[in-house]
Structure 1
């Protein structure tokens, strides 16, 4: 029979411990108990853990949690894209050149990349957890939206400051969503949940320009921010009432009641939780999660490769998105602001389709890898890189081909439908690449879902800001055809070899990391 542990500060016997001292005391106590266990007791615990489900949440509860994370994740890309149609209006209102308003876009992207490092490390820490960080980020976003809506037009510096704080609030929610899915979904189903969770962030770029153009044109630029405040306030109230704490370092599989500050107002999700302390939750409670620890993840070469293969196509696609208005106006000068906003729907819908289909394909590939591993008598985790990257080459080919095709159709002034079709499939391919890479990163770094997503956000946003800063200059001097040809070929020349390197050498790097962690413990 497995060793029965006495109640500890992390067990259901004491659920009000929220201080670092209490958690560190629990960690010391559990390490001592682990050392005193016999091999038979450890084997019995491992057998029981394998028989238990990964999470106690029922399927409908998981989907509701995914829905809430997806709703929260919409605001980071929405606040970035809804802002674009208002740039000329803001320049006139604040009596500054458009270049000065573009500075607010640049600093927004920089903070969008940096802030998740802090929030992500807090969300992965047993001292804080997911739920408090969710609510803090959404509350900060609401407050800054109010600040932007009432900013006097004589105070440009305040507009700049509020945009920085706005990015700091909303950008981290996507990282939190990835970590939450990692908490509740096993590897076999993680792809589908990740794909659906990405629907919210993918809707933002599609609807943002449309909503921004309508609001700025009909009600004035201040209503852009009032609208985002109202929408975010609704999601904030929804999550305050229903969102449970999911961090496995606090609640394990969901069966351990969290501290009071981490409990929802109406705890309808996970009501079937049992008084059951899982050893995985206890082990993860001892892990350090500071911003420095998050940055230290970049020392892993396999993670760096995956981050690069995500950042490169993301930057190219962001260049397509930000240059859509000037490119389309140059080719089709008869388009109105509303027409331009509607044109953004093509890449947005493509991204939605890509998220849904790629998630399902990833789960099929995992089931295939599991069958293959069973035939060889090994763990399916030995094939995690191959299971997640097997379909990536198809997405890479799609992305490069349709990016180059988009550039030349714009250069030769082909019918607008052709440009929209190529944007649609480029968005589809990017979503497939992003979902595959994000799922692999979470598989490689269990318990660090928010932290690795924060690293992903940092690299792709900083890379994207560099590419966006030169795309207009390149289109003006080289034309859209050669600009996107160069970007497409550069993507193929860098991302394809890196993906192959990760496929070939990734399993070895992963095993070396596991050996180092085992020795350190």
Structure 2
């Protein structure tokens, strides 16, 4: 009897160049969500005058937008986990284009609220879909880097979205901001229809199963022709699994709420949502605060967002590499081999500690930035003061937000879009409440105490970071044991690892 080692299939057969193209496309597509929100900020004061409503009423349109953002990904994200990413992206772009055309033509406050809800439905799922694509093509050891690249588009929006909105509003009128968004989404629609390959593992496995119908792009067709001349390893049982999953299933929003019922995921989601709310309330309050403190017009207000967005962008492009370095450091300490392109077994690996160790510094930095922003605006210092504070907020908050997102994907590798939809559900509902309350808080307490109050909440919230680091792996293992007992299984399911299985063969 001889033993021979058979190489396990790669986690994804997409080449490095293909991964770069895929991540680049989803990063650009994710811009529609922050653009949809932030191009709107510089024209808030203008719309208040045009529609004859108060600034607080105009801010309600931000609240309704965020509520819709919370709900939409639960529907579209679940659909993408079953039926593919391409179809979900295309549906999002079509809805977004229609909503922006309507917003460009509307003339009353009620229409503004309704169309902003429709706009949010069209763009909010782009974030969860982008993160899901990263989970489709990258392993846990390299996910920090790719998550950083993919979310750089999400965070680029706050940097230049208000600036673009301010320029358009100043020289072409406020309606031009919505025409810009419609044209931008139309361009993305063409790119995705023709050049974006299907990545959903329920549909194409590790990429080796040919996509069919709407899941097939021109790029997929060319790649399949190339691979048809090569010997491609297909994951065991993938074909049968794919055949089952290709049948269209109605999206189930309750699957998102089910993730909220898991102890560890719920704690991470609530932390993520509360902390992210700080950056959103700063963005929503900035036009009113800077108009009152510095008398800025819509163009200059738009330029003021560059600092917070630049902080977000730098964090996104740098901390992902630190996250992957920390993963490799822990893997060496535990003698866990890392094979390029193979997913590691995380069942006994402290992935929570690996991720949250990088979250803690970001948490502290973001909290200090909030305090500095509130008091510099309160005392109307030179505008460089709040601008530096905005950069610090952007860097700190986005560091914590991105890494907790990555952790949730590690915990739900088979449902990445649903997991990210849960993130959107929690953070958008919290942000909606925060954005509605922040201007009345600033008027009642003054900006210094309003943002200090938020910072005090975050000072207590840092305890959650260390709690998850200490107990997260135990919670995860307990949940897995309960799941096996519920399923009537006495043995754990074989993990997806990068180790090569040993096959025996009789001679």
Partner of 2:280: 318
Name the TM-score, length of structure 1 as normaliser: 0.85
2:440 alignment counterpart? 473
Q: Distance in 2 between matches of 1:56 and 1:271?
A: 14
For residue 191 of structure 1, the aligned residue among 140, 144, 156 is 144
1:401-420 alignment to 2 at 5 Å?
A: 401-420=368-387
Match of 1:340 in 2: 301
Contact 1:407 1:482 in 2 (8 A): yes
2:365 aligns with 398
Higher relative contact order (CA 8 A, sep 6+): 2
**In structure 2, do the counterparts of structure 1 residues 450 and 427 end up closer, same or farther at CA, with 3 Å as the change threshold?**
same
- Tell me, yes or no, if structure 1 residue 149 matches structure 2 residue 104: yes
Which residue is 1:171 aligned to?
124
1:503 maps to what in 2?
Answer: 469
Q: What's 1:237 paired with? A: 190
Distance (whole Å) between structure 1 residues aligned to residue 41 and residue 138 of structure 2: 36
442-451 vs 282-291, which moves further: 282-291
1:365–1:387 CA contact under 8 A, matched in 2: yes
1:368-401 Cα distance to aligned partner (Å, 9 max, x none)? 1211221799955512111111122111111112
Aligned match of 1:513: 479
Partner of 2:498: none
CA distance in structure 1 between the partners assigned to 2:49 and 2:216 by the alignment:
47
Q: Give the Å deviation of 1:141.
A: 0.7
Q: 1:283 and 1:500 mapped to 2: Cα distance?
A: 42
Q: Residue 293 of structure 2 contacts residue 380 of structure 2 at CA under 8 Å; is this kept in 1? A: yes
Structure 2 CA distance for partners of 1:149 and 1:203, relative to 1, 3 Å: same
Distance 1:355 1:283 in 2: 38
Query: Structure 2: any 5+ residue segments left out of the alignment?
Result: 339-343, 490-507
After superposition, where does 1:346-361 map in structure 2 within 5 Å? 346-361=307-322
Does the alignment pair 1:207 with 2:166?
no
Find the counterpart in structure 2 of residue 72 from structure 1.
Answer: 29
Partner of residue 265, structure 2: 303
The whole-number CA distance in structure 2 between the counterparts of 1:283 and 1:294 is 26
Cα deviations by residue, 1:2-60 (Å, 9 ceiling, x for unpaired): xxxxxxxxxxxxxxxxxxxxxxxxxxxxxxxxxxxxxx9xx99xx75x73322111111
Moved more, 480-489 or 453-462: 480-489
The aligned residue for residue 40 of structure 2 is 83
Report deviation, 1:189.
0.8
Relative to structure 1, is the Cα distance of residues 297 and 280 closer, same or farther in structure 2, using a 3 angstrom cutoff?
farther
Q: What is residue 293 of structure 1 aligned with on the other side? A: 255
Alpha-carbon distance between aligned partners in 1 of 2:355 and 2:134, rounded to the nearest angstrom: 16
Distance 1:513 1:405 in 2: 41
C-alpha spacing 1:476/1:92, structure 2 compared with 1 (3 Å): closer
Aligned pair count reads 472
- The CA RMSD measured in Å over matched residues stands at 2.5
Contact (CA 8 Å) 2:59, 2:284: kept in 1 or not? no
Q: CA deviation at 1:245?
A: 0.7
Asked if structure 2 preserves the Cα contact closer than 8 Å seen for 1:373 and 1:379, the reply is no
Give the drift of 1:72. Answer: 0.8
Structure 1 counterpart of 2:87: 132
Structure 1 residue 96 displacement after superposition: 4.5
- Unaligned 5+ runs, structure 1: 2-39
Post-superposition offset of 1:323: 1.3
Preserved contact between residue 56 and residue 272 of structure 1 (Cα < 8 Å): no
Q: Do the aligned residues in 2 keep the contact of 1:251 with 1:257 (CA within 8 Å)?
A: yes
The match for 1:31 is none
1:161 deviates by: 2.1
Whether the 8 Å CA contact 1:178–1:450 is kept in 2: the answer is yes
The answer (yes or no) to whether the contact 1:78–1:204 under 8 Å persists in 2 is: yes
Select between 482-491 and 272-281 the one with higher mean Cα deviation.
272-281
Contact 1:57 1:270 in 2 (8 A): no
In the alignment, is the contact (CA less than 8 A) between 2:159 and 2:309 conserved in 1?
yes
1:94 shift after superposition: 3.8
- Written as runs of structure 1 = structure 2, the 5 A alignment for 1:361-380 is 361-374=322-335
